[in-house]
Chain A
Amino acid sequence: MSEATLNTATEAKNPVSGLRRIIMMIGLMRESPAGMVGAFLVSFWVLVAIFAPLISPFEPNATLVPFMKPGAVNPDGGTFWLGTDHIGRDILSRIIWGSRTVLFYAPLATFCAYVLGIVMGLVAGYYRGWIDDVLSRIGDMILSFPVLVLYIIIISTVGASGLNIVIAIVFASGPGIMRIVRGLVLDLRNRDYVAAAQTRGESAWRIMLVEILPNARGPLIVDACLRMGYVIINIGVLGFLGLGLPPPDPDWGGMINETRQMALIFPHMTVIPCIAISTLILGFNLLADGMRDISLRD
């Protein structure tokens, strides 16, 4: 064997399997304190959502004793650790069950927005030309609209339901994701490995999905994490405007809306869901920061 190949043979690392890579990611995350806090907050809420039936002290929709302060004792047994609302529902239980709602719809909506955004971005960035012009102008039009107004128009037209919230978010976030993907693709499509695949005769979709997309995933994962935070805000805002999930199922934004007129007298009814929303969003933002730190390092 030649000397040149021997020199570096000892330096190269062992191949990394999928599981080990996840463990490595966690190990790397430890070096970013912000990322650690974010990961903790997100996993806290994820665990709460998963174990909601086990840890929730009461039925979330059961009307028990209205206007109870945090820590008050239920005459029928149990404690309202975070108090009850104006119609007597336990706030802690509603927060716990509400985390299921937000952690189901936010990732679902983000994921769907990504599928749409990635497909549009790949097509626009790879083919360029008129197809890029058309897609980009459509995207610009949607992006130039105030997001909130857009949501209100969509939801008030098609009605409030889980599916419609997802559709609205996909419609409003897709173009933003398309722009990011398009920018990355415009750069990556000029790499020689893409030229190699083209002159091999590969189909355009294979080149986009196998050669280009995996190399764009770093920035996209960070963006997805940040975007998840915005989507949670938007779901909360829709709930607050009465355009969220139909009552009585617990929804953090809806909880704030229903009790806001009593906020001065019974602040716990509004403040607690606010804290829940904030911590979850903060968690995703810090997690995104941490991942960006890690991805910038190598």
Chain B
Amino acid sequence: MSERLLTVKNLQIEGFADDAWKPIVNGIDLHLDRGEVLGLIGESGAGKSTIGIATMGYTRPGCRIVGGSIDFDGVPILTQTAEQIREVRGVKISYVAQSAAASFNPAHKLIEQYTETPVQHGVLKYQQAAQNARMIYARLELPDPDKIGNRYPHQVSGGQLQRAMVAMAMSCEPDMIIFDEPTTALDVTTQIEVLAAIKDVVKQFNTAAIYITHDLAVVVQLADRIMVLRYGDLVEESDTRSMLESPKEEYTRKLLAVRTFAKNPEPETKEEHSLIEVSDLHAAYGGGIKVLDDINLSIERCRTVAVVGESGSGKSTLARAMTGLLPPMQGSIKYQGEELPRSFKNRTKDQLRQIQMIYQMPDVALNPRQKLRETIGRPLGFYFQMDGAEREQRVKELLEMIELPTNYIDRYTPELSGGQKQRVCIARALAAKPVVIICDEVTSALDQLVAEEILKLLDRLQKELNMTYLFITHDLATVKAIADEIVVMLKGRIVEHGPKEEVLVPPHHEYTELLLSSVPEMHPDWLDDVLASRSAVSA
């Protein structure tokens, strides 16, 4: 049964950066048996994707394989000619990319793209391949499997497209599939469908798989064995259950413990007015489809209100409406009992100062042509007329507050890592001495350990500076960690609203239940249990 399929020995890969080749994978050994699923896990920069695609004899531009050997089913991949490797790729090894939306050709129908590989490689005739496609579509529980292949990629949803990509990877019934973060871009409720589909086909066809992800809770559902990577080195390798029960290395323990942070709830303070009172808010883009429908919400001082929902639920639009970037169609936003003008253009400088926002993508939230001195210093000069040594001093204080060294004041933002950039965004918001900070998915672009640090920082700042947060996120783990109150949104409406203790404890609203039960948990039977309980309910 356990026939060796893939053996990688002492794999070394270098990447070109700053005018020099630098090692990014340092002598990794790896093996995979037929029908086995191996999880590769680590933060960004760990080299997990690089290793995954190197097993096909491929490297991204700017990378090169400098040493080691890869043996796939008796074929020494690294010494093959390009022609010979073509025989293997697509037919015996296939690849599922992170973003299906970016990987499908938007100009061709799904079924054309499915059949391309087997027909090109001469494995199957078109009719036969199309027949198989419909079977696999059905197996992956895509709606209307006989016709869905005739749609173009933009005509199906994100989760369906990702499943269509899994189907495509199966088209030649390969011996091995490489899954490169296939669910990272999906909502939790969609992720669970894709995970179930992957688990099912891998088992059905006895396909070996390498599953690459940064999310330990996801990988434990699928993998038989897990390798933890960091900076191109192997940290720890063992089978899934024993890794969860007794991790040997400190780093693995940290990854496992990553969702344990929880803040102490803030005591509710009743004042005459709520700090922010949103009533009867409706908003739409370009006068078209309604994105926010009758939103009523109040935020008390020094509390954290988390708004949670899937993509398209209108939660980011709510943030844009509150900051005045998207003037609402009707309804009002009251701040300390006083109505705020709809557009930021009509708000006073002081109103703008008191409500600050931190954005989802720190890469585009900071001007890449500015040094931190200017980025953090500008609100100081703008709101408080600080300049010269006084301003310099305050910028340094803010850098200390966000735990960055003060000599970073002369750095440009592209010289910082993702987590550092998000810290700078926080400092820029703090520079305005705000009362409320709106955090729009502030941790979703970051690695889990880094995200955890940011949450801790925000929590500390809240205690020190009596900050009020509106926390917008799709990640329920974040909500559990940081919220005092929870607002659940679905299709532009609020479906449930209340203190954390009430919302997270049954009975839930139907949709809250779906959301909560879709968050992967750190034990290997979670996926099976959830699927079993859901089918029991529907039966």
Contacts and interface: CB of A to CB of B under 8 A. Distances in A.
Interface of A: 1-5, 7-9, 11-13, 15, 191-193, 195-196, 198-202, 211, 214-215
Contacts of A215: 367-369
B472 to A, nearest CB: 14
Contact of B325 (A11, A15, A195): A195
A199 B323 contact: yes
Given A13-B415, A199-B323, A200-B379, A193 B365 contact: yes
A5 B423 CA distance: 10
Nearest to A7: B417
Given A2-B403, A9-B405, A200 B365 contact: no
Contacts of A200: 352-353, 378-379, 382-383, 432
18 contacts: A2-B453, A4-B417, A4-B419, A8-B420, A9-B405, A12-B416, A13-B18, A13-B415, A15-B411, A192-B360, A193-B365, A198-B325, A198-B344, A199-B324, A199-B355, A200-B352, A215-B367, A215-B369
Interface residues of B, number: 43
A57 to B, nearest CB: 46
B449 interface: yes
B366 A201 contact: no
A210 to B, nearest CB: 8
Contacts of B95: none
B449 A199 contact: no
B403 A199 contact: no
Nearest to A215: B369
Contacts of A198: 325, 344
B297 interface: no
A196 B359 contact: yes
A15 B412 contact: yes
Interface of B: 18, 323-325, 344, 347, 349, 352-353, 355-357, 359-361, 364-369, 371, 378-379, 382-383, 403-405, 410-412, 415-417, 419-420, 423, 428, 432, 449-450, 453
A3 B453 CA distance: 9
A39 to B, nearest CB: 20
B352 A192 contact: no
Given A192-B361, A193-B366, A215-B367, A199 B417 contact: no
Contacts of A11: 417
Which are the 3 A-B pairs with shortest beta-carbon distances?
Answer: A8-B417, A192-B365, A214-B369
A3 B323 contact: no
A195 B411 contact: no
Given A3-B449, A195-B323, A201-B344, 9 more contacts: A4-B417, A4-B453, A5-B423, A199-B324, A199-B325, A199-B356, A201-B349, A201-B352, A201-B353
A5 B403 contact: yes
Contacts of A191: 364-365
Contacts of B378: 200
A191 to B, nearest CB: 5
B382 A201 contact: yes
Nearest to A12: B415
A188 to B, nearest CB: 10
B355 to A, nearest CB: 8
Contact of B449 (A1, A4, A13, A15): A4
Given A12-B415, A192-B365, A5 B352 contact: no
A201 B349 CA distance: 6
A199 B367 contact: no
A12 B403 contact: no
Contacts of A195: 323, 325, 357, 359
A129 to B, nearest CB: 13
Contacts of A13: 18, 415
A12 B416 CA distance: 7
Nearest to B456: A2
A199 B419 contact: no
Contacts of B382: 200-202
B467 to A, nearest CB: 17
A8 B414 CA distance: 12
A209 B432 CA distance: 22
A140 B516 CA distance: 55
A26 to B, nearest CB: 15
B325 A4 contact: no
A13 B412 CA distance: 10
A199 B364 contact: no
B371 to A, nearest CB: 7
B96 to A, nearest CB: 29
A201 B324 CA distance: 11
Given A2-B403, A5-B403, A15-B410, A196 B428 contact: yes
A193 to B, nearest CB: 4
A193 B325 contact: no
A13 B20 CA distance: 14
B420 A5 contact: yes
A198 B382 CA distance: 12
A9 B371 CA distance: 16
Given A15-B411, A201-B349, A8 B449 contact: no
A157 B356 CA distance: 57
A237 B378 CA distance: 49
A193 B347 CA distance: 19
B364 A193 contact: yes
Interface centre among B368, B378, B449, B453 (most CB of A within 10 A): B378
A198 B353 CA distance: 11
A200 B323 CA distance: 10
B333 to A, nearest CB: 14
Nearest to A198: B344
A8 B325 CA distance: 34
B481 to A, nearest CB: 16
B410 to A, nearest CB: 4
A1 B428 contact: no
A230 B257 CA distance: 63
A193 B369 CA distance: 11
B350 to A, nearest CB: 9
Contacts of A5: 403-404, 417, 419-420, 423, 453
A228 B325 CA distance: 40
Nearest to B382: A200
Contacts of B18: 13
A201 B423 CA distance: 22
A8 B43 CA distance: 13
A20 B503 CA distance: 57
Nearest to B347: A201
Contacts of A4: 417, 419-420, 449-450, 453
A199 B369 contact: no
Contacts of A201: 344, 347, 349, 352-353, 382
A1 B364 contact: no
Contact of A199 (B357, B411, B415): B357
B258 to A, nearest CB: 12
A105 to B, nearest CB: 31
B416 A8 contact: yes
Contacts of B344: 198-199, 201
Nearest to B357: A199
Contacts of B416: 8, 12
A26 B411 CA distance: 22
